[in-house]
């Protein structure tokens, strides 16, 4: 175990991101092929992360998810679940009851997303006051200069 200085994690992250970035920022590279974009586009849509977080607590049925994410429409819930299943992040199990019930749960791959996602959420929560303050200051400055 090495001793870690305060700026150490930051430098590691800088280097990792820079190395990654240089791999696909070359002008003759097709941006559509960049795997990072593909994955982040998914995570970036309106509902994916919410559903993953909801499923982090355990398996859920379709209507249970609807209750936990009150403002999602049936359409988008069904579609996002399908996309997540297609990407192998969640699995779908149909119980042939009557009426039928369907249970969704994270796969191992889906669970592996929880750690980096948790880090990001923690950052969002910790930074939210700073961001709000910055926005307020920016808007106030913009207002005085017309």
Partner DNA sequence: CAGAATCCAATAGGATACTG
Partner DNA sequence: CAGTATCCTATTGGATTCTG
Binding site for its own copies (CB under 8 A): 1, 9-10, 12-14, 16-18, 20-21, 25, 27, 31, 35-41, 43-46, 49-50, 53-54, 56-57, 67-71, 85-89, 109, 111-125, 127-128, 130-131, 133-135, 137-139
Residue choice 13, 17, 36, 102 for contact with DNA (CB under 7 A)? 102
Min dist. Cβ of residue 132 to its own copies (A): 8
How many whole angstroms separate alpha carbon 63 and alpha carbon 61? 6
How many whole angstroms separate alpha carbon 53 and alpha carbon 72? 14
Nearest CB to its own copies, comparing residues 78 and 120 = 120
Residue choice 101, 111, 114, 117 for contact with DNA (CB under 7 A)? 101
Min dist. Cβ of residue 64 to DNA (A): 7
**Could you tell me how far CA 14 lies from the centroid of its own chain?**
21
Residue 81 binding result from DNA, its own copies, none, given CB thresholds of 5 to 8 Å by partner type:
DNA
Q: Could you tell me the maximum CA-CA distance found in the chain, to the nearest angstrom?
A: 65
How many whole angstroms separate alpha carbon 104 and alpha carbon 88? 12
Question: DSSP string covering 66-130, please?
Answer: HHHSTT--HHHHHHHHHHHHHTTSEEEEEE--SS-EEEEEE-HHHHHTHHHHHHHHHHHHHHHHH
Which residues are near DNA by CB under 7 A? 45-47, 61-64, 71-76, 78-79, 81-82, 92, 99-102
């Amino acid at each position: 175990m090495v001793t870690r200085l305060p700026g150490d994690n930051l430098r590691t992250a800088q280097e990792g991101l820079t190395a990654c970035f240089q791999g696909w920022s070359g002008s003759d590279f097709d941006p559509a092929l960049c795997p990072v974009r593909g994955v982040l586009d998914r995570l970036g849509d309106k509902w994916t992360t919410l559903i993953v977080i909801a499923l982090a607590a355990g398996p859920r049925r379709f209507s249970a998810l609807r209750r936990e994410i009150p403002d999602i429409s049936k359409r988008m819930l069904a579609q996002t679940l399908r996309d997540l299943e297609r990407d192998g992040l969640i699995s779908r199990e149909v119980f042939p009851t009557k009426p039928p019930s369907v249970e969704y749960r994270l796969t191992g791959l889906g669970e592996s997303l929880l750690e980096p996602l948790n880090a990001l959420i923690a950052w969002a929560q910790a930074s939210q006051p700073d961001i709000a303050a910055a926005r307020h200051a920016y808007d106030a400055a913009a207002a005085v200069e017309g």
